């Protein structure tokens, strides 16, 4: 098996390098409207945003909030164009809290994005709350212990899940077999398909004066979404690629990927991060070792011949794990070769690109 990975420098609102209905999954996290670190990026695309924010007035800020989302609206429309029927759109976004004109407010980014994506014809599915607890000393906002002016501690983001039209159809024997091989373990499903994920944040600092913080989400978040909503050999897109987390997760799981990033420095960083395929090797190996631990002491009714392990359901009997073992360059893409994982024989990464 071989996959192909590209990081393109470009704008999420113009994905003309991607063909109509050419990807099966989008996993992304856009710039968050009304979070101060993104103000300059939005104002660069629409100068009126900067003008409205400079007024320091709640109503003007609401106009800026809407203008920021109109920029994102065009990106969601492009995602709708390139997604295949039945494809999934997964958007990690946080609502924003901000004091404007002396008034503290919450700006509901998740609700605003949901409204747009539904108007594009997507079906909203039950979403995930990503809880990321912090021990920061300033986590309690407002008047501290005194009512009524204290504010709820904000320690979560929304992972919004949308499907383009009816559920994906697998018409050929090859596609049905590929789907069976892409199954997840029963115990993985019980964790992944919960509506609450508690995952720590990742380091955000970048050695880049134009962009001191990355806004990246955890590798595990992208890994789960790619495993849940795509098959081996599918194409995964991240139109706001950032440091390339989604593409690395796709690489680890035997999917091809395309990342699109406006900033040259970040696009180059994402390309370099794709070379870190050992991250994927270790995560795939952990899937196997975690299942071996789960099986220990249990009597399960079904058997997976490839893995040489018992499994809980018949849907897991064809499940395969593939691990990246070698990478090489092919034009502007990183090409990755894989080996199938069996019990006690986790493949070792053989080569990295120069």
pLDDT in tens, 91-116: 999 999 999 999 999 999 999 999 99
For residue 188, the Cα-to-chain-centroid distance in whole angstroms is 18
Residue 140 has pLDDT above 70, yes or no: no
Is residue 326 one of the residues assigned to a domain?
no
Query: What per-residue confidence (pLDDT) applies to 94?
Result: 95
Please state, rounded to an integer, the average pLDDT across all residues of the chain: 90
Query: What per-residue confidence (pLDDT) applies to 145?
Result: 78
Query: What per-residue confidence (pLDDT) applies to 203?
Result: 65
Query: What per-residue confidence (pLDDT) applies to 147?
Result: 85
Query: What per-residue confidence (pLDDT) applies to 108?
Result: 97
Which position has the higher pLDDT, 36 or 278? 36
Is residue 6 one of the residues assigned to a domain?
yes
Boundaries of domain holding 26:
2-282
Mean pLDDT of 23-46: 96
Lowest mean pLDDT among 48-62, 76-90, 318-332: 318-332
Size of the chain in residues:
354
pLDDT digits (tens, 9 = 90+) for 146-172: 888 888 888 899 999 999 999 999 999
Query: What per-residue confidence (pLDDT) applies to 352?
Result: 43
Query: What per-residue confidence (pLDDT) applies to 212?
Result: 53
Is residue 348 one of the residues assigned to a domain?
no
Tell me how many degrees the CA angle 230-232-238 measures, rounded to the nearest 5: 50
Please check whether residue 328 is in contact with residue 352, taking contact to mean a CB–CB distance below 8 angstroms. no
Is residue 349 one of the residues assigned to a domain?
no
Query: What per-residue confidence (pLDDT) applies to 331?
Result: 86
Query: What per-residue confidence (pLDDT) applies to 38?
Result: 94
Is residue 303 one of the residues assigned to a domain?
no
Contacts 24+ apart (CB under 8 A), 56-63: 56/100, 56/101, 57/100, 57/101, 58/100, 58/101, 58/103, 58/105, 61/34, 61/98, 61/100, 61/101, 61/105
Token pair belonging to 151: 């504010």
Is residue 130 one of the residues assigned to a domain?
yes
- Report how far residue 204's alpha carbon sits from residue 38's, in angstroms, rounded to the nearest whole number: 14
Query: What per-residue confidence (pLDDT) applies to 354?
Result: 35
In eight-state DSSP terms, residue 142 is S
pLDDT band at residue 353, thresholds of 50, 70 and 90?
very low
- Report how far residue 162's alpha carbon sits from residue 118's, in angstroms, rounded to the nearest whole number: 8
Based on the structure, what is the number of domains in the chain? 1
Q: What's 229's domain CATH number?
A: 3.40.50.150
Query: What per-residue confidence (pLDDT) applies to 23?
Result: 98
Query: What per-residue confidence (pLDDT) applies to 86?
Result: 98
Query: What per-residue confidence (pLDDT) applies to 277?
Result: 65
- Report how far residue 228's alpha carbon sits from residue 92's, in angstroms, rounded to the nearest whole number: 15
Is residue 330 one of the residues assigned to a domain?
no
Is residue 157 one of the residues assigned to a domain?
yes
Query: What per-residue confidence (pLDDT) applies to 37?
Result: 92
Highest mean pLDDT out of 250-259, 323-332, 343-352: 250-259
């Amino acid at each position: 098996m071989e996959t192909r990975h590209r990081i393109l420098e470009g704008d999420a609102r113009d994905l003309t390098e991607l063909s109509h209905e050419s990807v099966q999954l989008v996993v992304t996290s856009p710039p968050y409207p009304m979070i101060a670190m993104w103000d300059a990026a939005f104002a660069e695309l629409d100068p009126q945003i900067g003008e409205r924010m400079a007024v320091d007035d709640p109503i003007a800020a609401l106009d800026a909030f809407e203008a920021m989302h109109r920029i994102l609206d065009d990106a969601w429309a492009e995602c709708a164009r390139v997604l295949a029927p039945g494809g999934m759109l997964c958007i990690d976004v946080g609502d924003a809290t901000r004091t404007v004109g002396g008034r503290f407010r919450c700006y509901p980014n998740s609700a605003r994005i949901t409204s747009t994506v539904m108007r594009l014809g997507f079906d909203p599915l039950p979403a995930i709350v990503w809880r990321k607890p912090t021990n920061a000393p300033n986590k309690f906002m407002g008047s501290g212990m005194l009512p009524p002016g204290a504010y709820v501690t904000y320690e979560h983001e929304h992972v919004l899940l949308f499907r383009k039209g009816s559920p994906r159809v697998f018409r050929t024997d090859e596609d049905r077999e590929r789907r069976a091989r892409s199954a997840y373990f029963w115990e993985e499903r019980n964790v992944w398909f919960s509506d609450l994920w508690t995952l720590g944040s990742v380091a955000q600092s970048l050695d880049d004066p134009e962009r001191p913080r990355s806004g990246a989400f955890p590798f595990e978040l992208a890994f789960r979404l790619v495993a849940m909503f795509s098959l081996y050999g599918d194409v995964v897109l991240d139109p706001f690629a950032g440091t390339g987390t989604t593409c690395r997760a796709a690489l680890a799981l035997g999917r091809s990927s395309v990342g699109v990033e406006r900033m040259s420095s970040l696009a180059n960083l994402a390309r370099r991060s794709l070379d870190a395929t050992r991250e994927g090797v270790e995560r795939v190996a952990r899937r196997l070792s975690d299942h071996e631990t789960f099986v220990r002491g249990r009597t399960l009714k079904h058997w997976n011949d490839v893995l040489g392990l018992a499994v809980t359901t018949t849907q897991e009997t064809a499940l395969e794990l593939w691990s990246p073992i070698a990478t090489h360059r092919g034009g502007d893409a990183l090409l990755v070769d894989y080996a199938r994982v069996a019990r006690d024989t986790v493949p070792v990464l053989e080569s990295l690109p120069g």
